[in-house]
Amino acid sequence: MVHGSAKITIILCTTLLMANSAWAQWTNRYPKVDGFGHHVYLEGHEFPSLTSGPIDPAAAPDGFRVAYADQGFIWLLNTENGVATRLTKSAAVDSRPRWSPDGKRLAFIRDDGADTGIVVRTLDNSSETVINTPTIELDPEFSADGEYLYFTSGIGGTLNIWRQHLLTGNREQVTDLNGVERNPRMLKDGTGMVYVHLAGFSEKNLRYRSFTKGTDEPIYTTGISAHLMADTHPTEQTIVVALPQVDDYKLYSMDVHQPNFAGELTPDSHYTLAPTWSADGGSIYFSEPDENQQFQLMRTSAYGGRVEVVEIKRRDWGAERHTVTIKTVKRGVPTAARLSVTGADGHPIVPSSGPVYFDGESGVHYFYSNGSIEIDVPMGAITVTAVNGLMTKADWQTIDLGANNAAMIELSIGEVWNAAANGYASADYHFHINYDGPYQMVPNDVKPLLDGENLTVGAPLLANLHTRLMDRAFTGQQVVSDEGNILRMGQEVRSHFHGHLGLVGIKQEYRPWHWGPRSVYPRLAGVDRSNGEVLTATAAAPGLVTYMHPVAKNLDPFAEGNLGSIPLEFVSDAILSETLGLEIVCAWTDEMGTSELWYRLLNIGKPVVAMAGTDSFAAFHRTPAAGSARVYANMAGATPTWDNVLEKTKQGETFVTNAPALLFSLNGETKPGGVVSAGSNNWSIDLTSAIAVDNVEIVVNGEIVWQSNGIKDGEAKTYSGTVDLPVGGWVAARAHGGEMKWPGMDSYPFAHTSPIWIDRIGSTDPAAETAAKADLLNALDSARNRAKGAYGDVETTKFNSRIEQAIQVLSGEE
C-alpha cells in the first residue's frame, strides 16, 4: 500500500487501500511491518478526530484561556466570560493544540486529507510556521524553554518522537523504540518528558524519560488503550493520566518517580479524554462525549471529586452562519441516508447530533440523517452528497446560500438495484459498537447506521481489548430500527494467534475470550486451548461461528511462502466442523486471496458458509460504514427476520459483496444453495452496480471457465450461456476489479455467489479434491510448525489433537 510521496512503505497483514495520503497507510488495524523492517502497530483512533464540540483542550499559561478543537478548527475560550473565538479558518482539519510556555504561540496538527503536519501559529500576528515531512506528523509539544518543538513523525521509518529547533529548523530524533511513540509531554522544569509508547499489539506503555539521568522507563503498562494520554503539572513532577477501566476512562494523578501510587480523580460514570492541567495546577480540564455523541469541555479539581461542564455561552465564528435543512428521498419517499457536507473551501461540516465519521478510502467525512436534518453552515456554497447503502448512486448538490438565512436541499437518491423488490435481505455479520473509540454508544445509537445504509440485519460483536471485554452489558440484545432493520449483539473471540472467531447470534458471552503464546497476548489463564473448544461449546446454540478477516493479501495462500497467511486453526476447524463460516468480504482483508482459501474447502466437499462483515466500529471516527461488506440472502418469500436471514445465509442462498449485486442461476431456476446435474447447463448472470466493475467470471471447482468484461457506473447487464459441468463439485459466479468509490468503502469492487452444487451438496471432482487435500495437508503441517515455534516447550495438547484429527480425515484414516 503506497500513498502519495510517503517514504514509509507498509506491508500489511490486513490490507485496506485507502485515500492517497501519507497518514492513511498508518491507520489500518493490526500489526504491520514498515519498509525498514520495524513492526508497527497502530489503530485509527490514535489519530485526531473531527468532532462536534470541544476536544483536546489545552489551558493557556495566562490562567483564563483554554484552546481546543471543535468542528475541525482551533478555538480559544475565555473562561471568565464563556465566549469562544474561532482561531483557525483552514480548509483542513486542525486539532490537538498545545501552548508555548510564554503563551504567545500555539502548535497543532493540520490534516488536509492527504497528509498531517504541524502548524506553529504566532497569536499576535497570525503567522504560521509549518513542519511537514513526506510522512505523517502528530502531537506537538513545546520544550520547557520554548526553543524546540517536540512531535511524532514517521520520517525515520517508524513513528518516533523528534524535536525541531524553531529558530534554526534543525531537527533530531529523540526516541527510537520499536513500535510507536507519541503524545510527548514536557516536565515544566525541562528535566524530562512523559510519552506514550505502543510497544506492540498487546502492550501500551506510559514512559518517563529523564533528560538529566539519561534514563527512559515505563511507568504504566496496559493493553489496547487508545486514550491512554497524560499531561504534566505546571510546577511539579506530577502527571494526570486517563486510564482505561473496562468500558470507561478515569483520571488519575501520579508522581513520575512513584507511579505505583495513583490517585483516583473521577468516578466510574465518566469517559475522560485528553486531560490537561490548568495553569495554576488547581484543576484539570478534559473532553467527554455526551449521549448524543457531542463533546463537552469538562473540569474537575486537581484532587478529584465533583465534575462540572465548562459552559460555552457563545461561539464567535468570525463569519456569518446559516441553517440549512437537508432532505433525502428514494423512490419519492423520505429515506435515511449517509451524508457528506463540505463548505466552499472543502472543509467538512458536521451535525449538532450524532457521530461524525471519516472514510479513509475516499478521504470523505460523513454522518447519518433519518431523512431530514438541520445543520449550521457557513455562508457561500456548500456541497452535499448522499447515499443509502451499496445499491445507490451517490447524489450530490452544490448550493450557494447567498444572503438566505435558511435554505432547504432535497436530494433524490437513485437506486440501481432494489434488494427487497428482488426478494433479498442484506446482513453485515461483523462490526463493533465500542472498541475504545472517542464516542461511547449503546445499541440504539446504531439504528441510524442500519437505516442510513439500508442494512436489514446488523451483528455488532463484543470484542476484547486484551484484559477488557467491551459492551458485555449488551450481550444478546436485539433492537429494531425506525425502518424495521434488526440489530443483534454477538461476540468476537479474539484468540488472535489461533484466528479470530465471530459468534453470531449468541445469547451469552463465551469465556475465556483470549489466549495464545505470550509473544502475542498476556498469559492470564490456561495455555492449552484451541478454537475448537469454542466451536464445541456453541454447537448447540443458535447462530453461526465464523472465521473473520482471514487472508490479508491478493495471493494464493497455499503457494510457497504464503501458508502463514491462513488463520492457524481455520483449516482444521473447517474440516472437523459440521457448519462453519468464512468471512469472504471484509474491509481489512482481501477478497480474492480469501476466495482461494474457501475454494480448497469447497473442493473437498465442505460447504463452508460464505460470510461478509465490514469489521467497522460505530464508536470510532475513522472507520468504514457498517454494511460496506455484506451478505445478500435470497429470502424466497420468507419474512426477513433475524432467524430467517441467518438461516438463508447458512444454507448458502446468498451472494457476498462490497459493491455489485450479482445474481446467478442455472437452467432458469437453480440458484446458489441449490443442486444441478452434471453435463451441459444453461446459465445466467445479472450484474448491477453503482460503481464500475472490471470483470465477471464463472468459477467451477476453483477454476475460471468463462469470463467477460464488466459494467460501467450505474449499469445493469445480463450475461448468459452454457457450461459443461463435471461429475461433482460446484459452480459459482464472481465479479471483481476497478476503482472503489462511494457508496463503497473497500479496496476494489467484489462480489461472489455461494456455490451451486453438482449432483448433491458436498460432492467433489476427483482431481480437484486430490489437489485440494494436498494443499490442506501442507497448511495443517504449517500450522503445527507455527504453533511449535510460538509456544516452544509449552504443551498444546488440544490444538495438536485437532490438527491430527484433521489430518486423519484428509488421509481417509478417520
CB 230 within 8 A of CB 249: no
pLDDT one-digit tens code per residue, 347-376? 999 999 999 999 988 999 999 999 999 999
**DSSP secondary structure letters along 762-790:** T---HHHHHHHHHHHHHHHHHHHHHHHHH
**Model confidence band, residue 200 (pLDDT cutoffs 50, 70, 90):** confident
Residue 812: predicted pLDDT: 87
Q: Indicate if the pLDDT at residue 40 is higher than 70.
A: no
- Average confidence (pLDDT) over 63-90: 97
pLDDT one-digit tens code per residue, 470-519? 999 999 999 999 999 999 999 999 888 899 999 999 999 999 888 888 76
> Could you give the CA distance from residue 810 to residue 245 in angstroms, rounded to a whole number?
47
Written as nine digits, the cell of 763 is: 460432492
> Could you give the CA distance from residue 729 to residue 700 in angstroms, rounded to a whole number?
8
Written as nine digits, the cell of 289 is: 462525549
Residue 118: predicted pLDDT: 98
**Residue that the C-alpha cell 509531554 belongs to:** 185
Q: What is the CA radius of gyration of the chain?
A: 27
Please, where are the H alpha helices in 492-582?
A: 531-538, 570-576
| Cα 443–Cα 500–Cα 781 angle in degrees, nearest 5 | 170
State phi, psi for 64 to the nearest 5 degrees: -125, -10
pLDDT one-digit tens code per residue, 632-648? 999 999 999 999 999 99
**Model confidence band, residue 541 (pLDDT cutoffs 50, 70, 90):** confident
Q: Indicate if the pLDDT at residue 178 is higher than 50.
A: yes
CB 744 within 8 A of CB 658: yes
CB 164 within 8 A of CB 149: yes
Residue 28: predicted pLDDT: 36
Four-residue CA torsion sign, 365, 370, 376, 377? positive
pLDDT one-digit tens code per residue, 562-616? 999 999 999 999 999 999 999 999 999 999 999 999 999 999 999 999 999 999 9
pLDDT one-digit tens code per residue, 211-233? 999 999 999 999 889 999 999 99
Q: Which residues contact 57 (CB under 8 A, 6 or more apart)?
A: 66, 67, 68, 274, 276, 285, 286, 287, 297
> Could you give the CA distance from residue 490 to residue 505 in angstroms, rounded to a whole number?
5
- Average confidence (pLDDT) over 540-555: 92
Least confident of 133-142, 466-475, 745-754: 466-475
Written as nine digits, the cell of 27 is: 491507520
Let me know if 218 is exposed, middle or buried by CB neighbors in 10 A (0-12, 13-18, 19+): middle
User: Nearest-CA neighbor of 373 among 401, 336, 343?
Assistant: 336
Average model confidence (pLDDT) for the chain?
92
Which of the two residues, 464 and 210, has the higher pLDDT score? 210
Which DSSP helix (H) or strand (E) runs through 301?
strand 295-301
Q: Indicate if the pLDDT at residue 559 is higher than 70.
A: yes
Question: How far from chain centre, in Å, is Cα 388?
Answer: 20
Q: Could you give the percent of the chain with pLDDT greater than 90?
A: 83
Q: Which residues contact 237 (CB under 8 A, 6 or more apart)?
A: 187, 189, 191, 255, 256, 257
pTM flag (> 0.85)? yes
Written as nine digits, the cell of 317 is: 465564528
Q: Is 729 left (phi over 0), alpha (psi -120 to 50) or beta?
A: left
**Model confidence band, residue 405 (pLDDT cutoffs 50, 70, 90):** low
Q: Which residues pair with 86 in a beta bridge?
A: 75
Residue type (1 letter), 279: A
3-state secondary structure of 649: helix
Q: Which residues pair with 750 in a beta bridge?
A: 736
Least confident of 40-49, 540-549, 582-591, 746-755: 40-49
Q: Indicate if the pLDDT at residue 303 is higher than 80.
A: yes
Q: Indicate if the pLDDT at residue 524 is higher than 80.
A: no
User: Nearest-CA neighbor of 731 among 680, 694, 659, 686?
Assistant: 680
> Could you give the CA distance from residue 790 to residue 293 in angstroms, rounded to a whole number?
42
> Could you give the CA distance from residue 356 to residue 620 in angstroms, rounded to a whole number?
9
> Could you give the CA distance from residue 611 to residue 648 in angstroms, rounded to a whole number?
12
Q: How far is CA 552 from CA 499, 595, 641, in A?
A: 13, 11, 32
**Model confidence band, residue 525 (pLDDT cutoffs 50, 70, 90):** low
Q: Indicate if the pLDDT at residue 268 is higher than 90.
A: no
User: Nearest-CA neighbor of 618 among 487, 476, 512?
Assistant: 487
- Average confidence (pLDDT) over 778-791: 96
> Could you give the CA distance from residue 687 to residue 705 in angstroms, rounded to a whole number?
18
Q: Indicate if the pLDDT at residue 203 is higher than 90.
A: no
> Could you give the CA distance from residue 524 to residue 553 in angstroms, rounded to a whole number?
32
**Model confidence band, residue 702 (pLDDT cutoffs 50, 70, 90):** very high
Residue 522: predicted pLDDT: 64
Least confident of 14-23, 381-390, 649-658, 659-668: 14-23
